[in-house]
Amino acid sequence: MAHLAHDPNARPDERTTAQLGAVLSKTAEVKNDHLFVGGVDLAELAREQGTALYVMDVAQITQQLRAYKAAFGPDNRVAFAGKAFLNKAMVRLLAGEGCYLDVSGGGELAIARSAGFDTAHIIVHGNNKTEIELAEAIEATAGLIVADCFEELERISRLATERGVTQSILLRIKPGVVADTHEFIRTGAEDSKFGFGLSDGMAQTAVKMALQLPGIRLKGLHVHIGSQIFAIAPYAEAVAVLADFCTLLQSEYDFTPEVLDLGGGLGIAYQASDEPTAIKELGALITTAVAEAFASAELPLPQLIVEPGRSIVATAGITLYTVGAVKELKGIRCYVAVDGGMTDNIRTALYDAKYEAVIANKAGCKRDALVTIVGKHCESGDVVAIDASIQTPQPGDIVAVLGTGAYNATMSSNYNAQVRPAVVFVEDGTATVVQRRETYADLMARDI
Ligand code: LLP
C-alpha cells in the first residue's frame, strides 16, 4: 500500500474509548460521555484554552519515571531523553523525581539550565556537537558528554584543557545490533551516522585516544539501538557485544568502564492492538544480562544509565483539535479536517505513524465512523491519522488524538506560519498551562 494511502477494506472498529487499553493514559476515564484525563474534562478544556492543544497527564509521566527507577534499582540512573518532550515544567518534574536528563545539543541544555536542573545530572548528546555547544556543556559542568566522533574527542580535550578542567565522557559505540523498528529511528547498526563502529576498529581507536588525551576522563560506553522497540532481545545482544569489547579493553588498556549507558528505545502502544514490553521486563532483561556478562568476564559491575524518552511521555500526551469540516467523498473516504496537523504532529507524514483518536465530547459512544483526520496545511501529506475509527464527527466536535506526548511538540513547526499549541499539564482535576500558545508576534519576533 502506498505511503499514507487509505485501505478500502478498513472498517470502523466499533470500540468505545474505554476499550482502548494501553493507549489510554493512567487517569483517563469517561464521564457523562466526555473524556477526562487527570480529572479534567478535555472537551471543556479545549473550549477554555482553544485548540490545537497539547495535554499531558502528570500522573502518567511520574508513574513511568518511577517504574524505570524501580526496574533498574537505586544504583543505576534514569535519564529522560529530552528530545521526546522538553520545557521548563518537564525539567522541574524530572528534578523532583530525582531523574537525570539526556540533552541533545545546546538548546536542550539551555532549557534544562534555565529551569535550574543540576548540571551534574545532565548527559550531552548529538552526533555533531558544535564547538560552541561543547564549550557551553563544559562550562556548565555537565555530568557527561557522549563523544560521537574523533573530532569531538579532540574538541572536548582542547576546550576542557583551555579551561583547566577535566570533562567526564562516554563514547558512543555502534554495537552492530539491528533493532526491529522503522529504519529512520534505527541507530545501532554498523551503517549509522551515530558513534564509533566495533568491526572497523574505530571504537577501539576512540578508547585509546580518549585515554591519552588531556582534559578528558573516560567513564564508559554508550549505545542506543533504536526507538519504538517491541522485541527487546537486541538489548541483551548489545550488552553481550559491549561486555566482549570491555574484556578487550581490559586486556589491551587496563581500562574498565564505570558506566554503561544503554540508551532508550522502549516501544509504546500507539494502537489498541499494540503489545509493548513492560518497563519491568526491560529492566530485568538488561540488569540480568549486564550482571551475567560482566561476572563471566570477571569485570566489575558498571553503573547503568538508561535514557527513555517515548515510554515516559508518549501515552501521557493527548492532542486536542476542533473539527472544522467533514468531507465525505462518496466511495472514496471521509476526511475530517482539524485545526492543526503536520505542524503539531509530523510523525504520521514522516514515519507512517498510527494513532487512535476519539471524540472527547462523545467518548462514551462506539467509534462507528472510519475517517482520515487531516490538518489545515497546504500539503496533501498533512495527515494526522489515516483510517481512524472515531465516533461520528460533526463540525465543532473535539477530537482527542491519543499517545501524542513524545516527539510531537518537540518536532513541531511553524509551517504556514501556524502558531504552536499551548502545553497544559493536567493533574488531580487541575489544568495548568505550562507553555503558552505562540502568538503572531512570536512568529515575527526574529524578523529585523
Ligand atoms: N538516547 C538517545 C541517544 C537517543 O538518540 C534517543 C532517541 C533516546 C535516548 C530516546 O529514545 P526513546 O526512548 O524515545 O525511543 N523522532 C522519532 C524518534 C527519534 C528517536 C531519536 N533518539 C519519532 O518520533 O519516533
Q: How far is the CA of 376 from the centre of ligand 1 (A)?
A: 28
Asked if residue 116 is part of any domain, the answer here is yes
Domain that holds residue 350: 17-57+314-442
Q: Tens digit of pLDDT for each residue in 295-349?
A: 999 999 999 999 999 999 999 999 999 999 999 999 999 999 999 999 999 999 9
Q: Which residues of 133-150 are buried (b: 16+ CB within 10 A; e: fewer)?
A: bbbbbbebebbbbbbbbe
Say whether both 207 and 291 belong to one domain.
yes
CATH number where 324 lies: 2.40.37.10
The 10 Å Cβ neighbour count of residue 325 is 12
335 φ/ψ angles, rounded to the nearest 5 degrees: -95, 130
Output the pLDDT for position 89.
Answer: 98
Residue 382 near ligand 1, beta carbon < 6 Å = no
From 68, 227, 274, 306, give the residue whose CB has the most ligand 1 atoms within 8 Å, as the site to mutate: 227
- State the pLDDT confidence band at 188, using cuts at 50, 70 and 90: low
Q: Let me know: does 385 contact 358? Beta carbons within 8 Å.
A: no
From 72, 108, 310, give the residue whose CB has the most ligand 1 atoms within 8 Å, as the site to mutate: 310
Q: Tens digit of pLDDT for each residue in 34-45?
A: 999 999 999 999
Residue 308 near ligand 1, beta carbon < 6 Å = yes
From 128, 270, 307, give the residue whose CB has the most ligand 1 atoms within 8 Å, as the site to mutate: 307
The residue whose CA has the least distance to atom 24 of ligand 1 is: 407
Q: Let me know: does 76 contact 305? Beta carbons within 8 Å.
A: yes
Cell of 64: 513511568
Whether the predicted pLDDT of 1 surpasses 50: no
Contacts of residue 56, defined as CB under 8 A and 6 or more positions apart, other chains included, come to: 85, 313, 316, 317, 405, 423, 424, 425, 426, 434
Asked if residue 11 is part of any domain, the answer here is no
Ligand 1 atom nearest 406 alpha carbon: 24
- Positions annotated as catalytic residues are 378
DSSP label at residue 205: H
Q: How far is the CA of 269 from the centre of ligand 1 (A)?
A: 16
In angstroms, the CA 238 to CA 243 distance is 9
Residue 307 near ligand 1, beta carbon < 6 Å = yes
Residue 224 near ligand 1, beta carbon < 6 Å = yes
Say whether both 46 and 173 belong to one domain.
no
- State the pLDDT confidence band at 178, using cuts at 50, 70 and 90: confident
Last residue of a domain, one of 310, 332, 359: 310
> What's the alpha-carbon Rg for the chain, to the nearest Å?
23
Output the pLDDT for position 185.
Answer: 60
Say whether both 47 and 81 belong to one domain.
no
51 φ/ψ angles, rounded to the nearest 5 degrees: -125, 165
Structural domain total, the chain: 2
Asked if residue 381 is part of any domain, the answer here is yes
In angstroms, the CA 327 to CA 333 distance is 8
Residue 435 near ligand 1, beta carbon < 6 Å = no
**Cell 498510527 sits at which residue?**
354
Cell of 26: 493512567
Q: How far is the CA of 314 from the centre of ligand 1 (A)?
A: 12
